[in-house]
Structure 1
Amino acid sequence: MNLSDWHYLEISELAPLLKRKALSPVELVRSQLDRISAIDGKLHAYAKLMAYEALEAASKAESEIGRGRYRGPLHGIPVAVKDLFWTKGVVTAAGTTVHRDYVPQEDATVVRRLREAGAIVLGKLQLTEGAFATPHPSSVPPVNPWGANHWTGASSSGSAVAASAGLCFASLGTDTGGSIRFPCAANGLTGLKPSWGRVSRHGVFELAATLDHVGPIARSARDVALMFEAIDGPDTLDPSSLPGVGTAVLAPRHGLKGVRVGVDREWNARATDEETLKAMEGVIAALRELGAEVIEVRTPESFPIAGAWEMLCGVQAAVAHAETYPARASEYGPALSRLIDVGRATDGMSYQRVILDAIAFRGHMSALLETIDMLLAPVQPFAAPTHEQLGALAQDPELNQRLIQFTSPFNVSGHPALSMPCGHTADGMPIGCQLVGRRGYESALIAAGEAFQGISKWHRMHPPV
């Protein structure tokens, strides 16, 4: 295979080649930089390319591997990170103009852990302003490689576009209301929103502390496992990180005998279109073929939680931006300004009522997950909307609430969710589903995702770029 054709391989396919020195990390990075130069001018996935640093790291990786100091399956693999993560000596703007000159003096913990695993950081990826809903008006947003007129999926949009278009082999994103899962669904990728606290948030610009989750975006569940193993685990620099040890890379799982998968067809069908429901039925059939027991369940009422998400996020965003807003409000775009204003205007009693509802939902969801191993749900009620459709959603609070009804409740509850592609629309746009599990049980979700991808084709399909 010509090196120029390798940009769509998975990490699990590249790693053995690098380990046995059949592939050079330097050649691989140069190939990626060439592809970025050729394609990213129309996709705008990257906010900052770190070509010099990446080539230096590739040369070091090649030398280490050549001396028999192989660090593991990420050694020599080119990845990229959302421009929300601190990178030592390199601007981290968080999609804002307020922080456009901020140069961190250290790496975020997750970036440091990726480097320690031998991964090579190609650059910083575009995102919405402050990781909220829309880009700052001064920025050029990423373009969906599957369809330029379609949504790229909210804040981790650059992270998904880059991985989908072969501009890196995996990426890091964040998910506060669905921003790993939405971009994965829109771009035909696999992504993990871990349990809250499972992955350190040290060195990550905050949107809403109790809702923010850091996780990997990749082409397969297997690759997600490799990325997750590198970044997972407690961190003394993040007091909210959970104690315990990191997950082990999973052995391939080809069957799901004995695994109980809950399905609430009524909940899944709320405002969900026929193409998505058909794709979900395909997933159910595949899980049964793999030996899983599909159990009809009743999901705790989540629509009010989705409706209260903006208040929860707004109050916490107001705290996160207190040093610069309202003092520098003129430098903020309209969407993030409005969110912060919602937070600043919220009274304590209203916020406490929402907190109590969130605690109740978390408890009911945890109780349900004690009766099953995981819950199957759509990521969103329809495939990535066009920009015109997205504009209509922004003007209708109830429609917007419908958009986040399957994602935001699990940011509130802190349960892990694995997003993966499960179909295509008639016009070729990817459709995503998610598996939701008990807190701390990411490995079970990843194993189920790997089993599903062992008999499905969707994660092997790539955009026409």
Structure 2
Amino acid sequence: MTHSDLHYLDAGAIAHRIRTREVSPVELTRMILERIDRLDTTLHSYARVMREEALAQAAAAERQVLSGEPLGALHGVPIAIKDLYWVEGAPTAAGTTVHRDFVPREDATAVKRLREAGAIVLGKLQLTEGAFATHHPSVTPPVNPWHANHWAGASSSGSGVATAAGLCYASLGTDTGGSIRFPCAANGLTGIKPTWGRVSRHGVFQLGASLDHAGPMARSAADATLLLGIIAGHDPLDPTSLPEAQLSLPDTAHDLRGLTIGIDYAWSTTGADAVIVEALDRALRTLTDLGATLREVKFPHVRTVVDEWETNCGVEVAVAHAQTYPRLAAEYGPALTRLIEIGRETSAMRYQEVLLNRAAFRGQVNKLMSGIDLLIAPVQPFAAPTHEQLGALAQDPELNAQLIQFTAPFNSSGHPSIALPGGFTAGGMPIGLQFVAAHGAEAVLCRAGMAYQHATDWHRARPLD
């Protein structure tokens, strides 16, 4: 491997090279910064590059390597942070103009834990306004590195583009209706939406507090597992974080013997593009080859919870933005304005109906998952939508409901999911699949993701030189 190939190594692999002194953290960080300079004027994945801070961190990391000090799991590895997370001293706009001057005095807990593991923060990654559907009109949206005319994913678009293009080794994203899984599918990445509460949301701007999930995005299941193990765990600063202090995750996995994987073929394929169905069928064959037992299941009816996701999120985002909306309404873009207005206009009785339906659905998914280890489904029914197709989706509530039918239900239920590359379209665009597990069963998800990627190489494809 030449020096120029280092930008596409896994985070775990580059951490090993740093520990063995094959790679200098300073040289590595300079190389990635130079790559950002060269490519991101076109890709627009970064909201802010923290050049001087990153180089200072790299120099400190190098001194620790040379002095023989104990090193963290990501020591000297350059990563990047979705601009929804607080980073001490760095403006954190959350994709908005109303927060453009907000400078946190502390790191978000997840960022702090990555720093404690030795990671170098390169900068803040671009996202949609407030982490909802579209970018603020003043923002240039990130560009999919596989093809500029195709969607880069939803709110964690900058995280997806930067990680796929080798502009960082991994990143943090958030997922309220699919915004880790959509950009992973669009950019050929692996990402984990953990169990709700598994990763602290302290220091993360809210979209919908009870729907928001913080998690890692990476180029492999092994890397996503590595990052999840670092950022997960109880946080007294987040009263909703799960009580478990530590998450036990596998280091490697090569088979799936002993696991039962559920598939509701009718639900997973109805309305799906043929290439999505082909990818699902191919994955099912791989899973059985790995020793898993497949079981046909009946997934709960999802249309109500999908249709009500926007109302649920709207009420919560209206609360989250109460200090700035409607006072600064003129500074908001049309999509986020519409969502906030939905929330402000929803009656208490209607909201209670939504919550009751959501609780019933969560119980139904819990019952289903009690009989299987994993559920497999697509990330989305439409393969690699173009910007033109997305424009049509935005105008058609039925198509929009189809888009989120495989993602939003698991935000409402809080179940963990891992998104994985599952193939390519005829035009060379990535396709995403996902595994879903019971609450708290991230170890099973990570095992399945690593075993699947041990048997396949979709995740090894790269969009650029």
TM class by shorter chain equals over 0.9
Residue equivalent to 1:435: 435
Q: Is 2:30 aligned against 1:35? A: no
Pairwise CA distance, 1:249: 4.3
Contact map agreement 1:193 1:213 (CA 8 A) in 2: yes
Mapping 1:68-79, distance limit 5 Å: 68-79=68-79
- 1:420 equivalent in alignment to 2:438: no
Q: Is 248-257 or 422-431 further displaced after alignment?
A: 248-257
- Root-mean-square deviation (CA), in Å? 0.8
Q: Secondary structure at the match of 1:151?
A: coil
Unpaired segments of 5 or more residues in structure 2?
none
Deviations 1:255-288 (A, max 9, x none): 1111000000000012101000000001100000
Query: Pairwise mapping of residues 82-161 of structure 1 onto structure 2 (< 5 A)?
Result: 82-161=82-161
Q: Is the 8 A contact 2:176 2:213 kept in 1?
A: yes
| 1:304 alignment counterpart | 304
Give the structure-1-normalised TM-score.
Answer: 0.99
Amino acid aligned to 1:158: G
Give the whole-Å Cα distance in 1 for the aligned partners of 2:152 and 2:135.
11
With structure 2 as the length reference, what TM-score do the two structures score?
0.99
For residues 422-462 of structure 1, what are the alpha-carbon distances to aligned partners after superposition, in whole Å with 9 as ceiling and x for unaligned? Answer: 01000011000000001111111011000000010100001
Letter in 2 for 1:292: A
Distance 1:15 1:83 in 2: 24
Q: What is aligned with 2:211?
A: 211
Query: 1:47 deviation in Å?
Result: 0.3
Give the 3-state SS of the residue equivalent to 1:351 in structure 2.
helix
How far apart, in 2, do the equivalents of 1:170 and 1:230 lie? 13
Partner residue, 1:222: 222
Residue 344 of structure 1 corresponds to 344
1:112-133: CA deviation from partner (whole Å, max 9, x where unpaired): 1100010000000000000000
After superposition, the C-alpha distances for 1:147-194 in whole angstroms (9 at most, x for unaligned) are 100111110000000000000000000000000000000000000000
Please say if 1:194 is aligned against 2:214.
no
Q: SS state of the match for residue 203, structure 2?
A: coil
State how far apart, in whole Å, the 1-side matches of 2:9 and 2:251 are: 19
The one-letter amino acid of 1:133's match is A
| Aligned twin of 2:401 | 401
Shift of residue 347, structure 1, vs aligned partner: 0.6
Deviations 1:20-41 (A, max 9, x none): 1111111110000010000000
What is the total number of aligned residue pairs between the two structures? 465
Per the TM alignment, residue 344 of structure 1 is displaced from its structure 2 partner at its CA by 0.3
How far does residue 69 in structure 1 lie from its aligned partner after superposition? Answer: 1.8
Cα distance in 1 for residues equivalent to 2:402 and 2:71: 44
Q: Hey, what's the Cα distance between the residues in 1 that align with 2:101 and 2:245?
A: 36
The equivalent residue for 2:288 is 288
Percent identity over the alignment?
59
- 1:271-282 aligned within 5 A: 271-282=271-282
2:432 maps to a residue whose letter is: G
Name the CA distance, whole Å, in 1 between partners of 2:464 and 2:77: 23
Q: Secondary structure at the match of 1:217?
A: strand
User: Match for residue 329 of structure 1?
Assistant: 329
Structure 2 counterpart of 1:2: 2
In the alignment, structure 1 segments of 5+ residues that lack a partner are none
Amino acid of the residue matched to residue 205 of structure 1?
F
More divergent stretch after superposition (246-255 vs 355-364): 246-255
